[in-house]
Amino acid sequence: SVGWGWQGEEEYRSQFVGMGKVFGQVGEKLVDFIVARIVEQAQLFIDIKSASEWASASSKDSPNEYMQRLITELIAPAFDTLRLGPDVGMAVLAPKVVTGVIKTLLAHLLKMKARISRQAAKRLQLDIEYMENWVQTSQVVPPSQRKALMELAIFTKCRHVLALLLPPKLLPDQISSCPLADKHTWVARRSRTKRGLFC
């Protein structure tokens, strides 16, 4: 089963807390190391959903299982552990963790060249909204950090990606007005019954 990937959650927490105590001494290298480990674990959850599932036309009104597990089994425990360290640890690490995990999800969709159906795009929207709602309501996210997390550039990128994936028909001006550098790559990921660019 998907888990922390080290010697167990308790040992992971113990090492993580130890890292937090020396945060001020190690600085940027420690931040990069912790975020890299969390993102590495996040990939295991994201891999649960196959390319064929993203192409599925089945409808669902709840977030995908991988996102629910990603938050409850990885991100929430990580944030809970961050609260045990200095405030600067949470302020620096929290946005990097959220950004890193969502970047991994988006990169995964492009890397496996998933054909994303409109129904799957709606579920991706629910996944992102689930993450945003968790940021706004979770007890392990300090109220002082919520606004900054909600304003992360990665959430803006998600909205632009969804604007390309969700419409039943995508018009030329919708593509040209999109500010994403990889917008055409996302357009190519659209899966529709009728092929063609503007469908």
Give 75-96 as a DSSP string.
IHHHHHHHTTS-HHHHHHHHHH
The band of 193, judged by pLDDT with boundaries at 50, 70 and 90, is low
The band of 19, judged by pLDDT with boundaries at 50, 70 and 90, is low
Give the pLDDT of residue 141: 92
Q: What percent of the chain has pLDDT over 90?
A: 57
Mean pLDDT of the chain, nearest integer: 84
Residues comprising the chain, all counted: 199
Of 55-59, 105-109, 119-123, 131-135, the poorest mean pLDDT is in 55-59
* pLDDT score of 38 more than 50: yes
Give the pLDDT of residue 89: 73
Q: Is residue 13 within 8 Å of residue 50, measured between CB atoms? A: no
Give the pLDDT of residue 9: 57
Give 135-185 as a DSSP string.
HHH-TTS-HHHHHHHHT-HHHHHHHHHHHHHS-SS--HHHHHT---TTHHH
Q: Is residue 185 within 8 Å of residue 176, measured between CB atoms? A: no
The whole-angstrom distance between residue 50's C-alpha and the CA centroid of its chain comes to 16
Compute the distance between CA of residue 4 and CA of residue 20 in angstroms, rounded to an integer: 18
* C-alpha distances out from residue 141 to 44, 65, 81, 98, 191, Å: 23, 21, 11, 11, 36
Q: Which of 89, 79, 86 is nearest to 135 (CA)?
A: 79
Amino acid at 173: D
pLDDT (tens digit, 9 = 90+) per residue, 162-185? 999 999 999 999 999 999 999 999
